[in-house]
Amino acid sequence: MAQIRLKNISKRWNNFVGVDNFNLDIADREFLVLLGPSGCGKTTTMRMIAGLEDITEGEIWIGDRMVNKLEPKDRDISMVFQSYGLYPNMTVYENIRFPLKVRKVPQDQHHERVMKAAAMVELEPFLERRPAALSGGQRQRVALARAIVREPNAFLMDEPLSNLDAKLRVSTRAQIKNLHHTLKTTTIYVTHDQIEAMTLADRVVVMNKGLVQQVGTPMEIYDRPANTFVAGFIGSPAMNLVPGSVENGVFTAQGIRIEGLPSTTKGPVTLGFRAEDATLAQGQGQIEAPIYSVELLGEATMLSMRVAGELVSIKVAKDYRAEIGETAAIAIPAAACHLFDQSTGTRIGA
């Protein structure tokens, strides 16, 4: 049983608050992603769980044990880091085997467990090589195999794909997803990449400045962001956010007018909508503005327009052709719109 509970944990260095009053229950076998920009507290949170960072206050429970005072080696977890941390003088086989030797696992179990872990990440042809003879993706797989061979209660992964190129990130991400499905081990994964979070996670914790902004499934945080920070961080591209005001169910700002919004809201708001929810209008649209840029993405074309001082993105058909400076009319259904309090950034409505 590897349920992990974080109860009111905080980390402070003098007057600087790295993590502030973090509460979370991570279910057994769950794949949880800590997501946020650099400096938001996500790696500090993971390091506290691992025992690599002392907590200032609060409690960390792994299973039925409070582990605040336990050394990292006694917490029964395996970590995979951004830097692979391999021993350059050892072969791949010996690198994978090393945790078994340190933990004094009986010698007669070593070969079978190393080969099993190597097979899971497709490393069998490389077992006699040293790390210098491997690509970045292969080295990361050695680091994964070294974590797997431990058969721990939980995996902690700190930005494991950030040193890989785009193609390798996609294939290694799929491998991590498949490994979690196979091993069914509780996993906490730190990243600043929202695509990794959306594709890997059972649940995502969005953090900023040491505070939890929202916890939910990938679709919950994508479809119903709790505030403008989450809305502007999740999605590729992020949600369009336009300041304006609502009166009698009508949102207005320079170059944009949308009717049919909740009539209970009035005054200054920030309007949010996704690029894929907007379409080219037949006739007059809710937005009419000059095109700022046209980008072919392959499966679609991305239009950028400057609306009420903000650059907004619209996805249209891949065969759409237009010149920069031409006026485009865009339709945005009221049902696809989100409203946020302009002063606090908090979502308005359910």
Percent of the chain with pLDDT over 90: 72
Q: Note the pLDDT of residue 311.
A: 94
Query: Does residue 222 sit in the same domain as residue 259?
Result: no
Number of domains in the chain: 2
Q: Which residues lie across from 205 on neighbouring strands?
A: 34, 215
Is pLDDT at 350 greater than 90 in this prediction?
Answer: no
In a domain, 319, yes or no: yes
Q: Note the pLDDT of residue 137.
A: 84
In a domain, 350, yes or no: no
Query: Does residue 250 sit in the same domain as residue 117?
Result: no
Other Cβ atoms less than 10 A from the Cβ of 124: the count is 11
Is pLDDT at 82 greater than 80 in this prediction?
Answer: no
Among residues 347, 216, 50, which one has the least CA distance to residue 206?
216
| C-alpha to C-alpha distance for 201 and 167, rounded to whole angstroms | 20
Query: Does residue 135 sit in the same domain as residue 256?
Result: no
Q: State the residue for tokens 């992020």.
A: 238
End-of-domain residue from the set 206, 228, 250: 228
Is pLDDT at 309 greater than 60 in this prediction?
Answer: yes
Query: Does residue 219 sit in the same domain as residue 309?
Result: no
Mean per-residue pLDDT for 193-209?
95
End-of-domain residue from the set 228, 247, 276: 228
Cis before 99 (ω within 30): no
- Give the CATH number, domain containing residue 268: 2.40.50.140
Which residues of 85-165 form beta strands (DSSP E)? 154-158
| C-alpha to C-alpha distance for 88 and 79, rounded to whole angstroms | 19
Q: Note the pLDDT of residue 2.
A: 80
| C-alpha to C-alpha distance for 213 and 172, rounded to whole angstroms | 28
In a domain, 194, yes or no: yes
End-of-domain residue from the set 167, 198, 228: 228
Which residues contact residue 271 at a Cβ distance below 8 angstroms, ignoring those fewer than 6 apart?
Answer: 241, 242, 243, 244, 251, 253, 256, 258, 337, 338, 339, 340
* H or E element, residue 268: strand 267-273
Query: Does residue 105 sit in the same domain as residue 203?
Result: yes
Answer whether 0.85 is exceeded by the pTM.
yes
In a domain, 348, yes or no: no
Q: How confident is the model at residue 25 (pLDDT cuts 50, 70, 90)?
A: very high
Q: Which domain holds residue 30?
A: 4-228
DSSP 149-187: HT--SEEEEESTTTTS-HHHHHHHHHHHHHHHHHH--EE
Strand, coil or helix: what is 262? coil
Yes or no: say if 74 and 63 are a contact pair by the CB < 8 Å rule.
no
Crossing angle, helix 110-120 and helix 166-183, to 10 degrees? 130
Yes or no: say if 255 and 267 are a contact pair by the CB < 8 Å rule.
no
Question: What is the length of the chain?
Answer: 350
Is pLDDT at 257 greater than 80 in this prediction?
Answer: yes
| C-alpha to C-alpha distance for 211 and 209, rounded to whole angstroms | 6
Query: Does residue 92 sit in the same domain as residue 166?
Result: yes
Read off the pLDDT of residues 91-142 as tens digits, 9 standing for 90 and up: 999 999 998 998 888 999 999 999 999 998 889 999 999 999 998 888 888 9
| C-alpha to C-alpha distance for 214 and 220, rounded to whole angstroms | 10
Mean per-residue pLDDT for 335-343?
95
Among residues 271, 170, 274, which one has the least CA distance to residue 219?
274
- Amino acid at site 76: D
Query: Does residue 219 sit in the same domain as residue 243?
Result: no
In a domain, 346, yes or no: no
Query: Does residue 196 sit in the same domain as residue 70?
Result: yes
In a domain, 347, yes or no: no
Q: Note the pLDDT of residue 226.
A: 97
Query: Does residue 170 sit in the same domain as residue 268?
Result: no
Which residues of 27-125 form beta strands (DSSP E)? 31-35, 57-62, 65-66, 77-80
Query: Does residue 208 sit in the same domain as residue 305?
Result: no
Read off the pLDDT of residues 144-169 as tens digits, 9 standing for 90 and up: 999 999 888 899 999 888 877 888 88
Read off the pLDDT of residues 30-75 as tens digits, 9 standing for 90 and up: 999 999 999 999 999 999 999 999 999 999 999 999 999 999 988 9
Lowest-pLDDT choice from 25-34, 167-176, 292-301, 336-345: 167-176
Is pLDDT at 337 greater than 80 in this prediction?
Answer: yes
Among residues 191, 192, 194, which one has the least CA distance to residue 239?
194
Phi, psi of 150 (to 5 degrees): -65, -25
Q: How confident is the model at residue 1 (pLDDT cuts 50, 70, 90)?
A: low
In a domain, 67, yes or no: yes
Q: Note the pLDDT of residue 263.
A: 82
Computed over every residue of the chain, the mean pLDDT equals 92
Query: Does residue 274 sit in the same domain as residue 308?
Result: yes
In a domain, 71, yes or no: yes
Query: Does residue 93 sit in the same domain as residue 180?
Result: yes
- Give the CATH number, domain containing residue 62: 3.40.50.300
Crossing angle, helix 136-149 and helix 166-183, to 10 degrees? 20
